[in-house]
Amino acid sequence: MKKVLLIGAYFLCSTFAISQTVEDMVNAIEKEGIENSQLEQLAYELMDLNGPRLVGTPEMKSAHDWAVNTYKKWGISAENQQWGTWKGWQRGITHVDMVSPRVASLHATQLAWNPSTSSKGVTASLITLPSFTDSLSFVKWLPNVKGKIVMVSMLQPTGRPDENWEEYATKASFEKMKSERDSLEKIWRQNINNTGYTSRNINAAFEKAGAVGIAQSRWSEGFGANKIFSAGTEKIPAVDISLEDYGMLYRMVEHGADTKIKIVAESKDLGVVPTFNTIATIPGTEFPDEYVILSAHFDSWDGGTGATDNGTGTITMLEAARILKKVYPNPKRTILVGHWGSEEQGLNGSSSFVEDHPEIVAGVQALFNQDNGTGRVVRLSGQGFLHAYDYLGRWLEAVPETYKNEIETTFPGSPGRGGSDYASFVAAGAPAFSLSSLSWDYWNYTWHTNLDTYDKIVFDDVRNNAILTAILTYMACEDPEKTSREKAVLGINPRSGKQGEWPTPRTPQRKGGQD
């Protein structure tokens, strides 16, 4: 009993001894983050002015240059490090109109990396898919697509999100809608299956059979939200059309109206271009070979401007670095900021960095990654590192309640296997963590959608996260101990029945979109 008390007293004293400096520093970080916040300006420059950051586009390169210049303005050294090459492409004007049986301009976007139409565009009738009993019946039908624009997505039975139904529908009609939709989806999947193709490679089959365009609608289950990914065609235009317009066209075709659309989708093929990570550093004074890494992928899809995926993670790390440079310019350990390229195609920038810089990976004290939207940080997992509780717990103790009171921690947790760039480092055994955000309807409304734009940013939450990140970084830099990398014994995988194994580093794709 006495011993415990004594130890307790010792801890109190030692905590008290360091607490004065820690408290001063935490106050200074908070003050700078609140009174001199640059988040709105950074978001404007990156999202509105620069625009989306699809790998291989000139806008991705200009964003990298912008980041380097922004750091230079703050007196932080930064550079663009090439890790590979990618198919070079630039989006141009997309204009899609219904021209028969009446005229209407449609809400539509060309899909990424899709080749250009001529400036006159392509005008053609639409065709929907009939039901196929097997691949033979598909092959027999396939010549029908010649000269047509093929509608490759299912007609949605409702354009209202489920929350809206839940609020206003009678219980019976909500249930009826859901069960009808379930069976439509099942039939649709089975029908695609019967063709012998998948939804991924069927567009290539239409193209080969002489279709002159592809029209899809990848609804994201929210008002006005569609997911915008890449085209699966080599030469013909592929566009995503809003649920509302797609549904109208689909019904017209099914009713036998002479439905024609005109697609003008101009873009530039820019050959093969180099692709980069932007790396910024504030050198450490005592342990320069040990690193606290601020991490957020820099690239995005380009249906919107990549505001919450991952503009918000990006400006969080920029702002945290700016604050630290101002109030903590001589960190004990080196602060490194990684703005990774091509996360969206499989963590390519960060896994290249891990492959190219084993000495840095060996010196990682901690990495903090943020990449799931604009919300306040509410989850933090130890990623399977046995002693993560000790050091993350120590660092979190210094964070004022307002910035951490919603954070649920899991220790030791299990190692991330993908999802975002921290996983590239975890796989290499480096203590890397995900600052995981509150959703703000991320998955339906902003993740990879046309609606991922500046107006969805919740700046108070991002400010919260920048201050939190800056404090954790300061604490990790100052910690007298290097963090432990000891791995927890992983549990039995319920699916395989086997002992869980630590993920292994992935091989990055360094030549993207090139045949």
**Would you tell me which residues interact with Zn ion (CB under 5 A)?**
309-310, 371
Q: Provide the minimum distance between the beta carbon of 47 and Zn ion in the complex, in angstroms, as a whole number.
A: 14
Rank residues 309 and 479 by Cβ distance to Zn ion and give the closer one: 309
Residue 447 Cβ, how far from Zn ion at the closest point, in Å? 8
How far is it, in rounded angstroms, from Cα 337 to Cα 278? 8
Helix (H, G, I), strand (E, B) or coil at 94: strand
**Can you tell me whether residue 329 is helix, strand or coil?**
coil
Q: How far is the CB of 53 from Zn ion (least distance, A)?
A: 11
Min CB(308)–Zn ion separation in Å: 9
The DSSP call for residue 499 is B
Nearest CB to Zn ion, comparing residues 116 and 310: 310
Q: Characterize 352-383 residue by residue with b for buried, 16 or more Cβ atoms within 10 angstroms of its Cβ, and e for exposed.
A: bbbbeeeebbebbbbbbbbbbbbbbbebbbbb
Q: In the complex, what is the shortest distance from the CB of residue 192 to Zn ion, in angstroms, rounded to a whole number? A: 28
Give the C-alpha separation, 437 to 426, whole Å: 19
In angstroms, give the least distance from the CB of 132 to Zn ion. 36
Q: What is the 3-state secondary structure (H, E, C) of 411-424?
A: CCCCCCCCCCCHHH
Nearer to Zn ion, 221 or 371 (CB): 371
Which CB atom, from 150 or from 380, has the smaller least distance to Zn ion?
A: 380
Which residue is listed with tokens 């912008």? 66
Shortest Cβ 310–Zn ion spacing (Å) = 4
Mapping DSSP to helix (H, G, I), strand (E, B) and coil, where does residue 335 land?
strand
Nearer to Zn ion, 245 or 371 (CB): 371
Q: From edge to edge, which strands make up the β-sheet containing 408-410? A: 408-410, 377-381, 436-437
Q: For residues 231 and 324, what is the distance between their CA atoms, to the nearest angstrom? A: 42
Q: Are strands 511-512 and 408-410 parallel, antiparallel or unpaired?
A: unpaired
- By the 10 Å C-beta count (0-12 exposed, 13-18 middle, 19+ buried), 127 is classed as buried
Return the number of the residue (419 or 513) whose C-beta is nearest Zn ion.
419
CA distance 366 to 339: 16
Q: Please, what's the largest Cα pairwise distance for the chain?
A: 90
**C-beta of 216 vs 350, nearer to Zn ion:** 350
